[in-house]
């Protein structure tokens, strides 16, 4: 939640000369996005989001992210559309940073998702996966399973201050995940960060998906696992079976899961919980207090991980095969 870069009027006007979207009326830094600086831009042509990519984003990945948003929007998935410049590109440079302008997406994140929201996000994720099958670019997942152990090893030597015995628990879990991580499941483009603040709703209907800066090619069911973790737990840490069932049935209304995916789901959920446990743990121990980045408690994902360890089959997430009655 920050604006890292100040943008002067003169340089903004120069940048805008590369576009065909009218005269600037106003621009205001908005508190959205951890990795980038975002501005709400109003022109005589409409309302837009101006994004400046800061150091945390690898500039080499931007063509994948922007190309993907363009592709998804072009195939009917509602997401911010990068505006094409006069020179045909979607990426420019502003204040010494790569920068792009996007159409503005109305709507609000569902801070307290209900089962209907979970069904809608499941359905939209399946559409993203289906459309993504035709997207020609490829990006490896920078936070895939093999990166977790090195990420854990790079954490400062104070992991057990977060919770006694945590190091041992993580190492044992990593052993388990590395030994059993599935191969051969359907793969393709995944969002990889479908948290509630990245899915907008308007009058109860899903109005679009934002923030594709973790998107990559990986197992489709792993995206489901991330999303189950993000949407279907209650604030008290309990898993809400009704929400899980809604999410999975929404997903299957577009793309029915294969048997091997269903079988792998508990393990993939353990992996998803591990991935967010580790990145939060790393930030928790390394980001200085009082910095602009709001640190999230890693223990939330430790509790989720422990829940997933108790799950024997996808039925405990609310899964029912298509045609069965739940």
23 in contact with a second copy (CB under 8 A): yes
Region binding a second copy by CB under 8 A among candidate stretches 23-31, 55-63, 115-123, 161-169: 23-31
- Nearer to a second copy by Cβ, of 3 and 131: the residue is 3
What DSSP element (H or E) covers 53?
strand 46-53
96 in contact with a second copy (CB under 8 A): no
107 in contact with a second copy (CB under 8 A): yes
CB of 90 to a second copy, least distance (A): 22
312 in contact with a second copy (CB under 8 A): no
- Nearer to a second copy by Cβ, of 6 and 259: the residue is 6
* CA–CA distance, 213 with 35 (Å, rounded to integer): 9
8 in contact with a second copy (CB under 8 A): yes
For the window 162-181, what string marks contact with a second copy as x by the rule CB under 8 A? --------------------
In Å, how far are 5, 33, 210 from 62, measured between CA atoms? 18, 15, 15
DSSP, collapsed to helix, strand or coil, labels residue 29 as: strand
322 in contact with a second copy (CB under 8 A): no
* CA–CA distance, 183 with 32 (Å, rounded to integer): 36
242 in contact with a second copy (CB under 8 A): no
CA dihedral 282→286→287→290, nearest 10 degrees, is: 120
DSSP, collapsed to helix, strand or coil, labels residue 188 as: strand
108 in contact with a second copy (CB under 8 A): yes
* CA–CA distance, 206 with 9 (Å, rounded to integer): 35
79 in contact with a second copy (CB under 8 A): no
Exposed/middle/buried for 53, CB within 10 Å: 0-12, 13-18, 19+?
buried
Question: What are 102's strand-pairing partners?
Answer: 49, 82
114 in contact with a second copy (CB under 8 A): no
CB of 267 to a second copy, least distance (A): 34
Q: Which residues bind a second copy (CB under 8 A)?
A: 1-3, 8-10, 23-32, 40, 42, 47, 104-108, 110-112, 200, 202-203, 288-292
């Amino acid at each position: 939640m920050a604006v890292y870069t100040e943008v002067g009027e003169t340089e903004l006007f120069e940048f805008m000369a590369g576009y065909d979207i009218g005269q600037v009326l106003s621009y205001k830094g908005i508190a959205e996005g951890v990795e980038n600086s975002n501005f709400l831009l109003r022109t005589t042509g409409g309302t837009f989001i101006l994004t400046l990519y800061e150091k945390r984003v690898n500039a080499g990945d931007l063509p994948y992210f922007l190309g993907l948003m363009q592709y998804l929007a072009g195939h009917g998935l509602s997401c911010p559309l990068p505006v094409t410049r006069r020179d045909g590109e979607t990426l420019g440079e502003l204040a010494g940073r790569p920068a792009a302008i996007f159409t503005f997406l109305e709507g609000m994140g569902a801070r307290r998702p209900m089962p209907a929201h979970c069904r809608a996000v499941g359905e939209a994720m399946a559409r993203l996966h289906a459309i993504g099958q035709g997207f020609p670019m490829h990006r490896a997942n920078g936070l895939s399973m093999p990166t977790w152990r090195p990420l854990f090893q790079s954490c400062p030597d104070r992991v057990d201050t977060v919770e006694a015995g945590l190091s041992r628990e993580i190492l044992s879990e990593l052993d388990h995940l590395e030994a059993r991580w599935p191969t051969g499941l359907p793969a393709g483009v995944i969002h990889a960060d479908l948290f509630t603040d990245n899915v907008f709703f308007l009058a109860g209907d899903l109005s679009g998906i934002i923030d594709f800066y973790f998107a990559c090619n990986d197992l489709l069911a792993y995206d489901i696992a991330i999303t189950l973790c993000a949407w279907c737990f209650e604030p008290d840490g309990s898993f809400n079976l009704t929400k899980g069932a809604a999410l999975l049935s929404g997903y299957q209304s577009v793309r029915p899961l294969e048997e091997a995916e269903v079988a792998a789901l508990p393990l993939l959920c353990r992996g998803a919980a591990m991935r967010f446990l580790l990145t939060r743990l790393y930030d928790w121990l390394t980001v200085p207090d009082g910095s602009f980045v709001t640190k999230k408690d890693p223990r939330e994902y430790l509790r989720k991980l422990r829940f997933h360890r108790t799950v024997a089959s996808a039925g405990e997430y609310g899964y029912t095969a298509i045609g069965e009655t739940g």
